[in-house]
Structure 1
Amino acid sequence: MAELDGPQIGTSANNFFQSDRDIAIQERRATKQQNKDGDPIECTSKVLCMILPEKIDDLDYVYIGESGFIAKKINLSTKKTVKVFKGHTGPITCLGLWYKDGIEYLITGSWDKTLKKWDSKTKESLCTFSSHTDFVKSLTISHKTSTLFSGSSDKHIRSWNLLTGEPLKVFKRHTRGIEDLTFDEGETFLFSASSDGLVIKWNPLSGECLQIFEGHLTSVYALKIFEEEMWTASADMTVKRWDLYTGKSDMSLEHPDFVKCLAIRGPYVITGSRDESIRVFDIGSGKLIKVIDGHFDEVSCTATREKKLYTGSLDCTLRTWSLTDITSQEPQPKQTVQEETSSSMLTEEEERELEELMEAEDM
């Protein structure tokens, strides 16, 4: 039989309309799914975001946001879900915790274009913030001023009074969606990362654009402030370190695929990528220390506490890793791009189409 050129189409009843490459990816992921690395906690849908509580009696818990329109509080020791927050009509993409008068409030942002404030103890939805005109993708909180800041695919950042729910200001400068928001350690300046490839430093009270950080070639998905430095993760397959005063990048850590999230812990920067891997780099030398391959889909979020690393993924699992173990290994060889990885990014139109498909599945 003559050899055929190009991708082949599966011929079994279960594989119609799938290429051999697609089938190989599914089989590889099915095999990888059986691994128990990171002591996985199985979730009901894709894990999109997470946040660790600050209260002493809640240190063994984590909040996660899922693609299935819900947020959860999970006991990390028992792996049991202890609370479920329902009310959004789209995937929950970002989380925040606000503490006032001894009460903990959970803040959630969603593709349904709204944010909600919940009493984390009673699960009661107390307030809905609804001025955005497109997906809410990021949020951060000023505890000094009790102000919520949210970023959206509508290209705008909005601020809200957390006590009254009143909208305050609209921050306009980015030309595409706002992927991440954070404050410096003193909550003096607000920083935003966007799919327009820029990071902007703002006066959070006046809304004035103070500084623009340029250097990434495309979407910036995540940013962290650590002491006098800023770290950013991008779809250009790099993580960059920036001097907050000069606005210049002095380190670039290369990856084989989009970098979706990052965490800073001591002398290490830890990244999560679309290629399913977690990477640990030594900040001082920039060397790759360890590659962790426990997940079998995109790593969407990371968080650290004491000697633990927590990672969430589109594979519907939450995993826990010992920082002592993963930072005590020999440097790893440079990674190459996995064959099945696509080089395209979702446009705003594609995101809307995905939302419609998800809604259709629930009908």
Structure 2
Amino acid sequence: MAEFDGPQIGTSANNFFQSDQDIAIQERKFKKQQNKAGDPIECTSKVLCMILTEKTDNFDYAYIGESGFIAKKVNLSTKKTVKIFKGHTGPVTCLGLWYKDEIEYLITGSWDKTLKKWDSKTKESLCTFSLHTDFVKSLAISHKTSTLFSGSSDKHIRSWNLLTGEPLKVFKRHTRGIEDLTFDEKETFLFSASSDGLVIKWNPLSGECLQIFEGHLTNIYALKVFEEEMWTADKTTGKPDMSLEHPDFVRCLAICGPYVISGSRDESIRVFDIGSGKLIKVIEGHFDEVSCTAIRGTRLYTGSLDCTLRMWSLTEITSQESQQKPIVQEEKSTSMLTEEEERELEELMEAEDV
């Protein structure tokens, strides 16, 4: 009889229905999670998004969106959660801050197809925006016009009046979900990145599509516009001005002076020199996908699906010699679902069990 050369199934009672490969991955992650690199802040569920707020009382704070249906405010110095915002019925996938009359408002978007505006001081939910027909995955705020823009898996971008909650316009051109939204530094143009592989430049007032950028071969997960340069992130690209290669999907981006910092599904953070494209540093510490990055001063903050938020010194990162790792090709999945759809389905099912 010919030997079966497919995945071997674990025989331990605790490992039924898991292949040896799955068990090995779990064991590796268990060992890796024991490390304290980046001085981790433990969270109650997967960290999906993060935004830094203004320093108060000489402390730095961050708002975090989690897969456990909550957003929370964390003191980054004491590692203590100071506020929890409850009201969504799905994972919180995107965050924004809006300031009006010296009052800070938190804006959250969720897989429950809604966005909410909160008084960040009282935690009161002031308004719910609910016209999307699928997951809300991204948002951007125009402070000049007090307008909220939201992107969804329903392929549409919507704009809303933040003062009244009134829906304004629907932006239609993408053929798949909107993964990220951002403005240029003057808030003149809105840019959208989609899983259809396109970036679109919009007139945010009229909703007119001004320009389409092609070149990515797969989903675009992150988008930054900095000093008239646009940076986008997926796994492979067509013919951009510069391509910074990664062994797996790039989930988030940050720009810091002459450096591009990326977070990847391979659990690593990478620092590239913008001028040369050279890989300066690979940062290890997270033991699951790196989902979000933020920078304040000389500190880099990263959030991950490993349920931690970590802090890194940019001075130390950029002063060390390059530690480039070889690019390893990932195994192709035989599932009928795309890798993104499999991951999102798994996250949603786990979140429902919370």
What TM-score range do you get, normalising by the shorter chain?
Answer: over 0.9
Provide the rounded CA distance (Å) in 2 between the counterparts of 1:338 and 1:150: 34
Amino acid at match of 1:317: T
Hey, what does 1:12 align to over in structure 2? 12
Whether the 8 Å CA contact 2:235–2:246 is kept in 1: the answer is no
Hey, what does 1:70 align to over in structure 2? 70
Provide the rounded CA distance (Å) in 2 between the counterparts of 1:176 and 1:213: 15
CA RMSD of aligned residues (A): 2.0
Hey, what does 1:201 align to over in structure 2? 201
Cα distance, 1:359 vs structure 2: 6.1
Hey, what does 1:255 align to over in structure 2? 246
Cα distance, 1:30 vs structure 2: 0.3
Hey, what does 2:317 align to over in structure 1? 326
Amino acid at match of 1:32: K
User: What is the percentage of aligned positions where both structures have the same residue?
Assistant: 84
Does 1:95 pair with 2:95? yes
Hey, what does 2:304 align to over in structure 1? 313
Cα distance, 1:7 vs structure 2: 1.9
Does 1:357 pair with 2:319? no
5 Å matches for 1:90-129? 90-129=90-129
Hey, what does 1:264 align to over in structure 2? 255
5 Å matches for 1:128-207? 128-207=128-207
State the number of aligned residues.
Answer: 351
Render the CA deviation track for 1:3-36: whole Å, top value 9, x for unaligned.
Answer: 7523211111111111111110000000000000
Cα distance, 1:335 vs structure 2: 2.6
Long gaps (5+) in structure 2: none
Whether the 8 Å CA contact 1:65–1:92 is kept in 2: the answer is yes
Hey, what does 1:216 align to over in structure 2? 216
Amino acid at match of 1:135: F
Whether the 8 Å CA contact 1:51–1:303 is kept in 2: the answer is yes
Provide the rounded CA distance (Å) in 2 between the counterparts of 1:170 and 1:184: 20
Alpha-carbon spacing, 1:281–1:352, altered in 2? closer, same or farther (3 Å):
closer
Provide the rounded CA distance (Å) in 2 between the counterparts of 1:347 and 1:360: 18
Provide the rounded CA distance (Å) in 1 between the counterparts of 2:91 and 2:22: 26
Render the CA deviation track for 1:199-241: whole Å, top value 9, x for unaligned.
Answer: 00000000000000001001000001110101111133x6x9x
Whether the 8 Å CA contact 1:21–1:340 is kept in 2: the answer is no
Stretch of structure 1 that moved more, 99-108 or 10-19: 10-19
Alpha-carbon spacing, 1:292–1:338, altered in 2? closer, same or farther (3 Å):
farther
Whether the 8 Å CA contact 2:281–2:324 is kept in 1: the answer is no
Amino acid at match of 1:269: V
Alpha-carbon spacing, 1:86–1:65, altered in 2? closer, same or farther (3 Å):
same
Whether the 8 Å CA contact 1:25–1:340 is kept in 2: the answer is no
Alpha-carbon spacing, 1:325–1:347, altered in 2? closer, same or farther (3 Å):
closer
Cα distance, 1:177 vs structure 2: 0.2
Whether the 8 Å CA contact 1:50–1:301 is kept in 2: the answer is yes
Whether the 8 Å CA contact 1:275–1:341 is kept in 2: the answer is no
Alpha-carbon spacing, 1:335–1:27, altered in 2? closer, same or farther (3 Å):
same
Provide the rounded CA distance (Å) in 2 between the counterparts of 1:182 and 1:96: 11
Secondary structure of 1:204's aligned partner: coil
Cα distance, 1:338 vs structure 2: 7.1
Alpha-carbon spacing, 1:224–1:360, altered in 2? closer, same or farther (3 Å):
closer
Provide the rounded CA distance (Å) in 1 between the counterparts of 2:297 and 2:256: 9
Whether the 8 Å CA contact 2:218–2:235 is kept in 1: the answer is yes
Provide the rounded CA distance (Å) in 2 between the counterparts of 1:112 and 1:162: 20
Long gaps (5+) in structure 1: 241-247
Alpha-carbon spacing, 1:230–1:253, altered in 2? closer, same or farther (3 Å):
same
Provide the rounded CA distance (Å) in 1 between the counterparts of 2:222 and 2:87: 26
